[in-house]
Structure 1
Amino acid sequence: MPDIALSATITKKQIALLHVAKRDLNLDDDTYRAILARYGKVETAAELDLVGFNHVMRYMTACGFRSTWTKRTYGYRPTMATPPQIDLIRSLWVKWRGADDPDDAELNKWLGRFHKVGALRFVDNKKAAKVISALKAMLARQQDRI
């Protein structure tokens, strides 16, 4: 009896990751579809199951693809802010600021001034909850002024 978890189709984020890998590796459509057919045994990424996705990603990694996910979210670290918390802090900051902060310079200044943390990568999970609450309150006050 096949395992349901392994035979389920992959998520939209996983499909997006495949497309990022295709772009980063400069693959044309025919080559990309050949990789899907050979390593995933499917014609399109939407048809991939988890096992096929892992085979395709393993091949693309061997070809030189490197995801920036760990660099952007610092990965999963015990007692530190989780990647979803990091992403939420960044998105709330961009909403409050009204402009992108690609290197987190302004965010890091604010964190140092008001939360006594040198940079976003040093925020632990307890501090992350306080930072998120503070940013949500700042956004609410900003919306009240408008």
Structure 2
Amino acid sequence: MLGRSDGIEFCSLIKKARKTNKFIRIKHCFSGYVGVVDLKDFDIYRDFPDNFKRDKNGWIRVRRFDIKRLSPLPERERIGAIDVSVDLHNPCCLDHALSELEEEFLRISKQIYKQECEICSYFYEGLEIDSEDSEKIEVYISTGT
């Protein structure tokens, strides 16, 4: 989840880029898994009833389990890190910038592995200006798992 200060920090970068006629290049090193299981294809509540119970608020997990170890779900393999960058010539906000970065990772990883990949970067931690020249401001995005 993005905090207010994260958006303000990125917004000030956008203003700086527009004022100086520069574009923003956001970068991140992604890792993930292949052999991804789309849980929408499975009814995990039906197929793994010992892990869940239903209460007045819906389904809750009562026992931890590792999705990789669930049968009949296929095993997943960790993929190597992939450096991804996206040039933003007219960015509107941090959320859309991160979405473009994620879409680029998915496009690249699908070309490499010939299948959908799951991203291991789950939440935004911050940004750091990596470099700046007459054309662009390069920003590295930090995420956590």
TM-score (norm 1): 0.29
TM-score (norm 2): 0.29
Higher relative contact order (CA 8 A, sep 6+): 2
